[in-house]
A = this chain, B = another copy of it.
Amino acid sequence: MKPKTRTRAVPTGRPRMEDVARLAGVSLVTVSRVLNTPDAVAAPTRQAVMEAVRRIGYVPNLTAGALAGSRSRIIAAVVPTIANSIFADTVQGLSDRLEGEGYTILLGQTGYDAGRERSLVTAMLGRRPDALMLVGAPLSAATGRLLAAAKIPIVQTWEMVRRPIDHVVGFSNAAAGRVVAEHFVARGYRHVRFVGGADARSKARQAGFDAALRAAGMTPLPAVTVPSPGTLGHGRDALCRVLDEGGPTDALFFSTDVLAIGALLECQRRGIAVPGRLAIAGLGDQDLAREMVPPLTTVRISGLEIGRRAADLLLDAIAGRRGGAQRIDLGVQLIERATT
């Protein structure tokens, strides 16, 4: 009878740590040590191992490492969307800081959809990331529970979430709305209006905007709602809607620079004087806001900085540095330029 050749779990065929060990004439454990804690190994041994690694082109299987050890060296990033968006900056900031520390980024986009967010988070958590960054509050309670149960450092960004899961790096969206409203009031605009999406951050900006207006004795005109994520086209459409209604509107606060610029461009096309006939303000202070002709009044927010600070926080939390949950408010700053 022939021997049972039961090859259960399928070997990958790629060189393994054991292959390196054999070539270097040491044990597998020593190879692991050279790769992870080089100082714990004598110099000649270390060199022999490194040479063997080079010779056979060994690339450590981090999946196996993550399973055996406790750290996966993976950080998950969950954003609404990444194309043409401010969140791309945040991902960039996060990734810039983290890659140098040996972490890899797992990226996911929710598209502002609660269901997609939930399945996305489930999938990501299944990879056992060492930490997770997300934009704002979870879109559903289910996702929130999933996140809380994960027991890993989490940082929520882009808003000062009221009941955060863990850390927060953001700014007050209501305050952003407020500074724009106060600016409009000071400039003497009387018929002002908000344009934004239906997402939580947009709503918060609107709330702060409206509240400040009322505090100044004014009544904000009804807001114009556009789809999220906002595009130049949505900004243009919003402007058209406002113009078509033919009301007395004299100033518009757009929830994002992209929307504001879409509208500003439409004004140029139609020959509408900005700010003479209509004032426009945005939020984000993207490059384009500064470069536009005329340059756009906006609220400065550094998506890059949010990403960087989030990364730092996460790194500290993973290392066990710092005490409880941090709550970093980057603040808002109105940049007065030529469109108001």
Contacts and interface: CB of A to CB of B under 8 A. Distances in A.
Given A108-B99, A287-B233, A59 B89 contact: no
Interface string A104-140: 1111110000001000101111111000000000000
Contacts of A326: none
A88 B91 CA distance: 11
Q: How many copies does the complex hold?
A: 2
A62 B126 contact: yes
Given A83-B89, A99-B120, 19 more contacts: A9-B68, A10-B69, A12-B128, A57-B145, A59-B126, A63-B67, A82-B88, A82-B92, A82-B95, A83-B303, A84-B88, A96-B109, A99-B123, A104-B123, A105-B107, A105-B108, A232-B287, A233-B291, A261-B288
Interface in A59-101: 59-64, 66-70, 72, 74, 77, 81-85, 88-89, 91-92, 95-96, 99
A102 interface: yes
Closest 4 CB pairs of A and B: A62-B126, A83-B92, A107-B107, A268-B293
A187 interface: no
A265 B236 contact: no
A293 B267 CA distance: 10
Contacts of A12: 70, 128
Contacts of A127: 62-63, 74, 104
A66 B63 contact: yes
A296 B70 CA distance: 53
